[in-house]
Structure 1
């Protein structure tokens, strides 16, 4: 578990570091702000496009092999990111780095599922959510500390010794899992990569208000290749896009819950800096501190929620947590013109408590609703659902700015509250799903 959490922390912190350091990198490489965004987009595209194929590969060759390969690729590409001197080279290195992170994130939940018995799985998922929350919270601080004493390449260079340490810890510790008897389908893998990368590209272009024709073409390509993928794998015992698992009501509702909740998170995290600075007239330094309560409280709430999910239905815990998140986001949108720091902080903490209370039980529900031989597909959908939700939320923020202008951040927070409500309803519906009733009878 320590080996898994170290690597998850490394990949999570790297995402937060790159976001924080983007202006410094753009300035040093003489890139425009619009062009420098590809430093982030390239990483995200590689993540979402390859997560399901790598999860499927893990079921065939073993989750351990995919995970160890991911550590090696992530560490080597981090060194490449530190050594490049142009924006195209850095973008290419970030694509490879995203591939390594995808290999790690695609099977980490499956490996945790192998370490914990079903009765204690919530604790393992709670620890994983705690690690992600803490890493996300300290990422900007780590980036600021490094940039205060060194140039931006060191942001990536520090990954190298940490990656080597993670590999040394993981090699003797990670469990060997049972392999599937089916073969990997490279054609389905290509269909998946094209479909999901086109979808993320369409959402990103919509977020930046690019020409409508470009957005529609990318969306059409995503739909066409998505249909081809489903048809290609019809009747497959372990399809790459796990349509077999979506036939299970608890699994399907859990993924819907995840996408809606992470869309709410994306709406909040992209809009809140604008909300604090443009609407509430706070400085950049104050904004950084005001953003902190959310991830900190997520990290504190996640282990507690994980333990509770071993005793109480995840659908109930998730519904309560997401209702709290919705109330918190609505209260932020309704803040007066000149609120106190305390008034902002407790609302941000309320959002963090709600989000943290949902995350661990939802992870457990997803992994518990899949049979052991399909843990890889379930694990891949966890990351895919998270990225789809966050990307959708970011795109909706741009739409809110286009509709409401200066008051776009307020509209985005209100929209996030609506998504939280929808996620809460989806989570609650799991209480009435057939597998839940069967599970309750067994208990």
Structure 2
């Protein structure tokens, strides 16, 4: 077997494993919370950290690992990533405690997984760029993009299926992949990268970036949580301080990187138009997609499926199944767009993909709440086609535009931008929806109770926190059961039996939440469409196809002169 296919097979395993692990938790949280005996209404902070902590840690480490891979070898760190990720998966499966301690253990073990994920994610695109010739790179990255994007949705299906049997299987599923990838990479992969051994580790830049992005995302995370009498924590002094200090560090970061000898975030790479516009488009694409999947699961799991007769216990499984058209669109267009971009260039294929995504967002915003699945599935397929068209050409644009010795840091920068935007997108969409529910939920509750002759319960049920209403829908259960269970038995017994059946059934609460949720959901979809349109514009402005290796062969070109300058500096540093 040619080495390029060996490299691709290893990268595909890592991509599938990493993305499945990210989304499998999204769909199986009800089973996890039940398994460790936690009440979701009282554990919002754990839910957020299990969901967002993995992405936060991965985003903070990608740049550092990209630089280290250029110094010490991409394959070496890639193998280490497999090993660490597998260890983290085993620990998650073995989580010994229950209650709050169990939740904290899962968060800690997922952080170990995130370290492994960052190690192989920072190197995957660079390894493929080393192994494949430039004219075949788009196809290779397209196949990998299928693994990355379809892995997100395979995780939803696997999470729904495995959670039925045992919540621990959700983490165990990654272990065979990790063992195969570790053994396969150790025995078959070889180092082909051009090392930059004379490069120093950018300690100041690392500390500044990690501190800045961590503090900012922690502030955003806790800003979504209730504080005092407020349903959200944006007025919490600790949240404000965390975000301000984080922003100060991030403002200082490019200043520091422009002055240190060996920056880990290579600002000079942004002088290349293709690199700059492709990363900008990738950032906006991730901002539009990061919260989109969560919103769609909320819509299906919390409202549409219960209203169509599905039990709360079965909604996680069916939500995963009903997201399949999105995966199908990606699988069809991912490798196809990669091959087409190798032949015709990435510019208009990537642009067309983002325009299709924008149209899909607009159609989702216009979709009536009582939509048919054919309408919904068709729009999901369209979004998958658009995402598949964009992903591979955009990645190949970035990786082909840098010299071989900078591919590790370029890959780290690309995935850092993507992961940070993905996590920020979830926070943006969360905020839009929670603010909307805060404004509308009490009135919607009062109206709904009046319709069943239970307006006297409004003072009690209207006190359900908006975040609790939102995440009870996401976790697939009716919070009214918990509220009624906390009331004095005499009060509960005074409620007519028919009214109790209505309140605790599968349709009353989703119908009530729907009136507060759908307007905010439409706003989030419109914002997704705006991000996608700007990404399309940046894709169109990126210029014609640019391959660094081709450019350096043209005497007198800018790339040729830069390469000559780099080689002279490298020779002089080795002489010293």
Which one is further off, 279-288 or 103-112?
279-288
What is the alpha-carbon distance in structure 1 between the residues aligned to residue 221 and residue 332 of structure 2?
32
Of 190, 193, 206, the match for 2:207: 190
> Any residues of structure 2 matched to 1:356-395 within 5 Å, and which?
356-395=388-427
1:30 corresponds in structure 2 to 37
SS at structure 2 position matched to 1:339 = coil
CA drift at 1:236? 4.4
Work out whether residues 249 and 433 of structure 1, in 8 Å CA contact, stay in contact via their aligned partners in 2: no
CA drift at 1:175? 3.0
CA drift at 1:187? 3.2
Distance 1:409 1:77, change over 3 A: same
Distance 1:345 1:236, change over 3 A: same
2:129 corresponds in structure 1 to 113
SS at structure 2 position matched to 1:311 = helix
Of 427, 431, 437, the match for 2:543: 431
Which one is further off, 182-191 or 407-416?
182-191
Work out whether residues 56 and 240 of structure 1, in 8 Å CA contact, stay in contact via their aligned partners in 2: yes
2:249 corresponds in structure 1 to 225
CA drift at 1:172? 2.6
Work out whether residues 25 and 51 of structure 2, in 8 Å CA contact, stay in contact via their aligned partners in 1: yes
Distance 1:432 1:157, change over 3 A: closer
Of 190, 199, 202, the match for 2:219: 202
Of 199, 205, 211, the match for 2:234: 211
SS at structure 1 position matched to 2:367 = coil
CA drift at 1:127? 0.9
> Any residues of structure 2 matched to 1:94-109 within 5 Å, and which?
94-109=110-125
Work out whether residues 207 and 397 of structure 1, in 8 Å CA contact, stay in contact via their aligned partners in 2: no
1:102-151 deviation line (CA, Å, top 9, x unaligned) = 111111111111111111110110010111233222212222332333x2
Which one is further off, 124-133 or 137-146?
137-146
1:250 corresponds in structure 2 to 274
TM-score (norm 1): 0.92
**1:43 aligned onto 2:66:** no
Which one is further off, 319-328 or 241-250?
241-250
Of 259, 262, 267, the match for 2:283: 259
What is the alpha-carbon distance in structure 2 between the residues aligned to residue 408 and residue 64 of structure 1?
45
Distance 1:240 1:294, change over 3 A: same
2:508 corresponds in structure 1 to none
Of 32, 52, 56, the match for 2:63: 52
What is the alpha-carbon distance in structure 2 between the residues aligned to residue 195 and residue 433 of structure 1?
35
Work out whether residues 322 and 420 of structure 1, in 8 Å CA contact, stay in contact via their aligned partners in 2: yes
Specify every segment of 5 or more residues in structure 1 that has no aligned partner in the other structure, as ranges. none
What is the alpha-carbon distance in structure 2 between the residues aligned to residue 273 and residue 413 of structure 1?
14
What is the alpha-carbon distance in structure 1 between the residues aligned to residue 276 and residue 425 of structure 2?
20
CA drift at 1:326? 0.4
Specify every segment of 5 or more residues in structure 2 that has no aligned partner in the other structure, as ranges. 1-7, 226-231, 438-515, 555-576
**1:420 aligned onto 2:444:** no
1:311-360 deviation line (CA, Å, top 9, x unaligned) = 22312111111011101110111123433221221111111111110010
SS at structure 2 position matched to 1:431 = coil
2:156 corresponds in structure 1 to 140
1:312 corresponds in structure 2 to 344
1:4 corresponds in structure 2 to 11
1:170 corresponds in structure 2 to 185
Work out whether residues 75 and 159 of structure 1, in 8 Å CA contact, stay in contact via their aligned partners in 2: yes
Distance 1:337 1:10, change over 3 A: closer
SS at structure 1 position matched to 2:291 = helix
Of 58, 68, 81, the match for 2:79: 68
Larger Rg, first or second structure (1 or 2): 2
Alignment length, in residue pairs?
Answer: 439
RMSD of the TM alignment (CA)?
A: 2.4
1:226-249 deviation line (CA, Å, top 9, x unaligned) = 244333333446521221212222
